[in-house]
Amino acid sequence: MKAKTINCRPSNLNNTFWNRKLGRTALSVSQKVLFKLPIAYTLGLISIISCNNVNALEYSSSAGVNFTINPSISVSVSGDLIIDELAPGSSSDSNVINVTVLSNNSTGYVLSSTVGTSSVASTDLKLDGNSNDNTNKFTNLNTNKANLSNFDDNYWGYSYSVDAGANWISGNTGSTASGYNGLPLYSGTGIKLVDTTAIGTNTIKFKIGAKASNTQAAGEYTNTVNFTVVGKAVPVTIYQAFENAAADPNNHIEMLNGYYKIQDMTPAICNAVEQDSDIYVIDTRDNEIYMIGRLADERCWMKDNLRLGSNDNSINLTPQDTNIAEAWTLPKGVTSGVATYVEAKINAAYKNDTTTSYGTGSGKIGVYYNFCAASAGTYCYNSESSTGNAQYNICPANWRMPTGGYNGNEYGILYNAYSGSADDFRVALSTPLSGNYPNNSQANLGANGLFWTSTRLDNSLVFAPVISFGPNDVYPYNGIARSVGLSARCIANN
């Protein structure tokens, strides 16, 4: 505020899922929007002058003018994906559709794509939409194919263009792989088609291709392709993200012993976090402390081996604290006889010992679990659930065992996010060389490490897929007997 003498003058005021048919192969398209970022502007200045007969004192002050433009975002498709009259023994592209995003979100958005639904949990195109038919189908590609002539019989794949059709590619945004590949399942991380900070309208072109054998059954082959657009938030540290979530009483997030609970992780918290931000959290089941963080694949991972379990007593687990459908008891650990397919076995004798490790995690060996134990008793040799992926496991609630493999699976996506660099991958995930426990003793401690994954290894009831790594290499997809005791890691649900 200031005052001065002026000549008297008058007061003044200055104001400075839509369904689409795909001919002999039919697809549906669905969409989703997730974000809220209010934007505030301050404009204007108001000056007030007070007069008396001869002179006056001028007082000036400012008043902010605030208003909010709510962000909006939408995704639309231009028409049907149709492969018309795909002849036996031939290959063909569908027509090309436009996928258009309209956004005013100041920090941009990500457009991604997946395939499948909860009712058709498959990446294949099924005859007449019959999810139980595993004979008459077009299988999703699992590697890049430069053109249709390279397809194996009865396979299908997608391709897209970000430059009006001049170049057709597959893979995440920025990919230089021309041609086609397979889409990941709807429950996993989608293929990132666009990652931009631009405002306005953006259109990409999208198509599918398929190749039929001479004996493929006639009919319509269908599934659902999902396009998801998510507005980007201004990233914060993972501690700030938990703190912001805890400020909302509807989230019911409270600290335990000075730590946020790992079970309170949500997709909203993880999506708000900047890359390489870490935090220590507590597991409510046994008060173990773990480091978690957001990595280059834009997912949140445990950076320590799971240490749930004891050689002194069993632990009762519930769906409220564990990724299980119903209550289950993790048995107490044993030091011999771990190697079994049909019974959950663990050895927790070494869980707090440390070994050669990479990154910022604790380097603790953790508990060794056979696959029956890691899957919380749902994926044992003699159980009816021993087909398909291990949906339930001993990870905390809101977390699960990652899928394994190179294409479209979570360990493979993480590996590719670090450009296939074994060094960068090991440091980011903080991998200890914890070895394994084949039956009665440790093996390969300090030489390599192996983590269970939730992905099925073909139709085997004896072997299960793992990710393995050593001092100089990483293998995102390997197989090992399900009876062996291995380490476990968890990834946050998305």
Same domain (yes/no): 314, 391: yes
In a domain, 375, yes or no: yes
Question: How many CA atoms lie within 13 Å of 215's alpha carbon, on the beta-carbon side?
Answer: 1
- 476 or 143, which is more confident: 143
Instruction: Quote the strand ranges of 163-231, DSSP E.
Output: 191-196, 200-211, 221-231
Q: Which domain-ending residue is among 231, 253, 284?
A: 231
Domain total of the chain: 2
Same domain (yes/no): 278, 421: yes
Same domain (yes/no): 172, 270: no
In a domain, 59, yes or no: no
CB 185 within 8 A of CB 114: yes
In a domain, 191, yes or no: yes
Confidence class for position 387, pLDDT limits 50, 70, 90 = low
Same domain (yes/no): 266, 214: no
Same domain (yes/no): 211, 255: no
Over the stretch 41-92, which tens digit does the pLDDT of each residue have? 222 332 333 334 444 456 667 777 877 778 889 999 998 888 988 999 999 9
Rg value, the chain, Cα: 28
Same domain (yes/no): 493, 429: yes
pLDDT above 60: residue 480: yes
The sheet with strand 449-452 has its strands ordered as 449-452, 463-469, 474-481
Angle of CA points 82, 87, 89, to nearest 5°: 125
**Length of the chain in terms of residues written:** 494
Separation of alpha carbons 44 and 57, rounded Å = 22
The residues that bridge with 300 in the sheet, in sequence order, are 294
pLDDT above 70 covers what percent of the chain? 85
In a domain, 45, yes or no: no
Separation of alpha carbons 425 and 432, rounded Å = 12
- 40 or 341, which is more confident: 341
Same domain (yes/no): 281, 135: no
In a domain, 44, yes or no: no
Confidence class for position 32, pLDDT limits 50, 70, 90 = very low
Supply the CATH number for residue 202's domain: 2.60.40
Separation of alpha carbons 97 and 285, rounded Å = 49
CB 255 within 8 A of CB 264: no
Same domain (yes/no): 204, 247: no
Separation of alpha carbons 229 and 225, rounded Å = 13
In a domain, 10, yes or no: no
Query: How far apart, in Å, are the Cα atoms of 355 and each of 296, 352, 360?
Result: 25, 10, 13
Separation of alpha carbons 232 and 195, rounded Å = 9
Confidence class for position 305, pLDDT limits 50, 70, 90 = very high
The whole domain housing 292 covers: 235-494
Same domain (yes/no): 282, 165: no
Joined tokens for residue 459: 């139709």
Same domain (yes/no): 221, 254: no
